[in-house]
Chains A and B, each alone.
Chain A
Amino acid sequence: MSKASGRLVLVIFLTYLAGILYFLFLSFFQFPVREVMMNYYWDWVIDNTVAQLISYAIPLQITAMVIGFSLVIRDMDTRVGRARTVSFPTLVRLPIVALLVMTLAYVFALEWGLPAETMNRDSYAYDTSLARELYASAQASLKRQEYSQAVGRLNQYLQLNPQDAKAVDLRATAIVHAGTSTTARSEPAAANAHGIAGTDIPEALQGLSSSQLLERSSGYYQKADYFSAYYYASLALRLDPTLAGATRLQSRSLDGIQQLDVSKMDQKKAEIFRLKREGFLDLESDKPISAYYIYSDLKLQAPDDPDVQRYLAASAAAVRQISFFTDEVGGIASLPGVQQLMFVNDRNDKYTELVHIGKLINTADGTYALNIELLRFSPRGDILLHVAAPYAKIVNQNLILRAIDRRDPANNVGPTVYAGKIPAATGPVFPLRAPVRELHAIAAGSGNFASAGLQVLWSSLKVLGSYGYDTEPIYLELMMRLLLPFSFAVLSLFAISFGWRLRSRHFTRPPILALLLIPLIPFLVNYAFRLYTYGFRIVLGYSLAAAGAGITLAVLIVSQGALLVLALLSLAGQSTD
């Protein structure tokens, strides 16, 4: 590396370092103390610094190039020996290679770094508003003496703000009261027609054919083990609904369960059998949640009972089709996710349905949504349904709004109905038109442009129109994103030639005052860069509105190509003589 290139690298490094320190300094003071809790202070400051650094990378890069070639690399650096002079192309060869590498790094930062940092930074404000809502809700629950609910809310709140000593005390008080209060078990208003028929075949039985399952069912029936007989007959029917004998065996097993005389059993066995039957009948009559709680209790009394094991698994599986467990969402509020998305979920002759999701979070256990609200209204302007829930899980493209506690039904969280009535047949389970990946695309396209990469914006473009959004702003955002890497390279080339043309003619150094005022340069460069991008925004925006995306892309490519040629010509026009 030549002396000149070494100096240039140092200038680039120092410029970016100065940028980092400046944005860090700004972030300390820009922290939105009203919108974001103090426990996010450092996270917010770091995310904001990185996001700002990437956003302002082009002005910083131009500044580095301009200062490097106008001040740091000097005429004397081009002299080799007494007479020979390094040509300008030789002088800029290495910097141009470095520039190409930096452009590549910029593309990566733009596509992955900036969206991630922006999403993180913005999520702190959302998490804060969520924490405040949870705290208010906990206080309201305490006032109503609903201590279990208050404990649940405070647990969630403390996951977002674990340093709040007041909330810790409040939770301790609520726990004491919750321990003394009685909880009543109640079946939710509606359940789905799932039951044992809706369960998946356990892994251990997956190799068996329908006739083998039927054979097992028959064997259990012979031994008067009607629960097992019914269970295996049901599984056989899952595999082959036309299987002769399976329906009959299932029906006879059901009769056996209902008619079995418990008076001949000892008291404990009789009680267990009674509960097993109760749970079984609940499961078969589309009350899987009630069945789940019965079998959960039974598991404590008879942990080795195979019927209890099977039907607990079956009822849990059925429960998962219409609800999810509250502990699944316990820690998710603080996880990163896309925020504030609304879309037209359905629009037909009978109604229009809008869905708003406060935050959408993907975890290994599934996709969850926070602060969900659904509004359905008719073409005559009547509100048919308006529901809201603090949490939802998305399972098989269904939005499930009911969360149940594994042990205490008093802690179940269901939707709040503001208008209309949730259909009993489906319960609080609403089909979503959009698969999860499209929900992310909707989030990106519904104004959260900064937190989306190019790929997400592109997929958003393809689907957004059908969910109620204009696509022009996304087209333009895509064009502007494409413009940035080109600009990084082209404007840096211009900066090299501009800097060299306007280089310092001082033999040693410019006056101290000039050196002290160097920090003004990036601010002025930033103004110029913003004018440049705003000009392009208008041209591309008009082209998009007037002629469509294809022509606009052509305008972008041709204009950037022309600028690149001009930049290279401008470089070629420089010399070291």
Chain B
Amino acid sequence: MKAIVLVPVRFVLVCLILTAVLAGLSVLSANGDTNGIGQASAPQVAGLVIAFPAVFPPAVLGALLIALFPILRIARFRFIPLFLLFCVSGATLIAGIYGAGSVERTISAPPPLPQTISAGTIYRFGDDFLYAALQDGNMLSDVAVYRHGTTPGFGFSPEGTVDPVSGQVSLRDLGETYRISDSETSAARMFRTDTRLTDLFGDIRVLATFLSNQSRLKSPIYLATVVACILYVTSLWLFVRLTRWPLFNGVLAFGALRLLFAGYAFLQGTSFRGMAATVLKNEYIAFIAPAAILVVGLLFSLVGLLLPRFEPLNRGVAGE
């Protein structure tokens, strides 16, 4: 009984740790995007609240999956902790996003750090380079750029401008624009996402943004999506217990979680929605993604029910 109760407790703990780590990293990344050593702004609580909706869904889903593994140690009535997890994680996700939305409305977001370039500093963009001799606010003077592949390579513009919000440097005389965050040699580069993680972060962002937006509208689609996602991840119990090689099971389970984000992003993508619009009315299209996830989750659950009972892991068995 104790082991069963501990399962949701573990989930809450892991969820809190994951949320804290992800939100902390998000805030550090936002505050550290500076133009010099010693220039980073101090992290603010408001920053944490703003980062919360983006990091909370992956934290809950990740924690839910991690919390499935200790169930392997429970010998009987495994459906009870699974059901408990389903309820607790669903409630956590719904309450967390609603709560964060309410708090977010009461605080003012810290203004984004103005982006600019430093005078007398060279910025590299691929094989191009940019140098501004003078900078006064958003205005640049005596800007030299080296453009790879052109003859001559150097171009000179007496003036240029920087958009402090987008960080775009525009040189009208040369017809060139550069984005500061794209520069390999600027401080902004330090916090740029690893290109090998861009897809993963992009897919997670699609789900998190959708949930955050829909929670504000109190739309039924929000509840449907949360339930579908939680059911899907809970149904990954199928993989967690699939073989007597837990490492392999874990690989499959986390692979399936990655597929959830990828699949959701695909179903919410413009190309799929465009195709769906040819056969479905607009108001139904939004339900395709949660419905598909729900169906897959139910399918996994059904297969899990049909699988033979498995022995606790501390007992070795002959290979299949």
A and B from one complex: yes
Chain B residues lying within 8 Å of A502, measured Cβ to Cβ, are 245-247, 250
Q: Tell me, rounded to whole Å, the shortest Cβ–Cβ distance linking A550 to chain B.
A: 11
Decide yes or no whether A544 CB sits under 8 A from chain B: yes
Q: Please tell me which one of the listed residues A347, A470, A506, A539 contacts residue B28 in the complex, with CB atoms under 8 A apart.
A: A539
Instruction: Tell me, yes or no, whether A542 is within 8 Å of chain B by CB.
Output: yes
Is the CB–CB distance between A507 and B316 below 8 Å? Answer: yes
A469 contacts B316, CB within 8 Å?
A: no
Q: Which residues of B contact A377 (CB under 8 A)?
A: 133, 142, 144, 156
CB contact under 8 A between A506 and B158, given known A344-B122, A537-B190: no
Q: Are B158 and A542 in contact (CB under 8 A)?
A: no
Task: Give Cα A388 to B155, complex, Å.
Answer: 12
CA distance A379 to B134 in the complex (A): 9
Interface 1/0s, chain B 120-137, versus A by CB < 8 A? Answer: 111010010101010000
Q: Verify A381–B244 contact, CB threshold 8 A.
A: no
User: Which has the most chain B C-beta neighbours within 10 Å: A449, A510, A517?
Assistant: A510
In angstroms, how far is the closest chain A Cβ from the Cβ of B9?
21
Q: How far is the CB of A462 from chain B (nearest CB, A)?
A: 15
A472 B142 Cβ-Cβ under 8 A? no
Contacts of A508 in B (CB 8 A): 318-319
Given the interface contacts A352-B142, A356-B146, A538-B28, does A544 sit within 8 Å of B37 by beta carbon?
yes
Judged by a CB distance under 8 angstroms, whether B313 is at the interface is yes
Chain B, interface size category, equals 35 or more
Is B156's CB under 8 angstroms from A470's CB?
no
- Contact present for A470 and B144 (CB under 8 Å): no
Query: Restricting to B5-24, which residues have a CB under 8 Å from any CB of A?
Result: 21
B316 and A506 contacting across the interface, CB-CB below 8 Å: yes
Indicate if the CB atoms of B252 and A509 lie closer than 8 Å: no
Binary A-proximity of B191-203 (CB < 8 A = 1, otherwise 0): 1011011001000
Roughly how many angstroms separate A499 CA and B248 CA in the complex, as a whole number? 10
Given contacts A342-B129, A473-B185, whether A373 and B154 have CB atoms under 8 Å apart is yes
What is the 8 Å Cβ interface bit string for chain A, positions 344-364, against chain B (1 contact, 0 not)?
Answer: 100100001010100000000
Contact A527 B258 (CB under 8 A): yes
In whole angstroms, how far apart are the Cα atoms of A513 and B23 in the complex?
38
Say if the beta carbon of A216 comes within 8 Å of chain B.
Answer: no
- Which single member of A416, A418, A468 contacts B131 (CB below 8 Å)? A468
- The answer to whether B148 and A340 touch across the interface, beta carbons within 8 angstroms, is yes
Docked pose: A511 CA to B317 CA in angstroms: 12
- A505–B244 contact, CB under 8 A? yes
Please report which residues of chain B, range 271-320, place their CB below 8 angstroms from some CB of chain A when the two chains form the complex. 313-320
Q: What's the nearest-Cβ distance from chain A to residue B48, in Å? A: 14
Q: How many contacts A-B (CB < 8 Å)? A: 211
Number of interface residues of A (CB under 8 A): 73
How close is A364's CB to chain B, nearest CB, in angstroms? 29
State whether A468 and B245 are in contact (beta carbons under 8 Å apart), knowing that A129-B149, A507-B316, A544-B37 are contacts in the complex.
Answer: no
A13 interfacial contact with B, CB 8 Å: no
Is B141 interfacial (CB-CB < 8 Å)?
Answer: yes
The 8 Å CB contact of A379, one of B142, B244, B313, is B142
Query: For residue A527, which residues in chain B have a CB less than 8 angstroms away from its CB?
Result: 196-197, 200, 258
B185 and A514 contacting across the interface, CB-CB below 8 Å: no
Cross-chain contact A356 with B153 (CB below 8 angstroms): yes
B81 within 8 A of A: no
Look across to chain A and name the residue whose beta carbon is closest to the beta carbon of B318: A507
The reply to whether B187 and A545 form a contact with Cβ atoms under 8 Å apart is: yes
Q: Which residues of B contact A75 (CB under 8 A)?
A: 316
Contacts of A538 in B (CB 8 A): 25, 28-29, 32, 191
In residues 430-477 of chain A, which contact B (Cβ within 8 Å)? 445-447, 449, 467-473, 475-476
Contacts of B124 in A (CB 8 A): 342, 446-447
Interface: B106 (CB within 8 A): no
Residue of B nearest to A480 (CB): B190
A545 touches B39 (CB 8 A): yes
- CB of A432 to closest CB in B, whole Å: 16
Decide if A541 is an interface residue (CB 8 Å cutoff).
yes
**Identity of the chain B residue whose Cβ is nearest the Cβ of A525 in the assembled complex:** B251
Known A-B contacts A70-B245, A502-B250; the reply to A544 vs B190 at CB < 8 A is yes
A535 in the interface, Cβ–Cβ < 8 Å?
yes
For residue A503, CB closer than 8 A to chain B, the reply is yes
Closest-CB distance, A376 to chain B (whole angstroms) = 10
Q: A377-B144, A505-B317, A539-B28 are in contact. Are A545 and B37 (CB under 8 A)?
A: yes
Least Cβ distance of B55 to chain A in Å?
12
Contact A535/B25 with A504-B244, A526-B196 known, Cβ cut-off 8 Å: yes
Pairs A–B under 8 Å by Cβ, sample size 6: A342-B129, A352-B142, A375-B144, A504-B243, A506-B316, A509-B319
Query: 4 tightest A-B contacts by CB?
Result: A508-B319, A542-B32, A545-B40, A447-B184
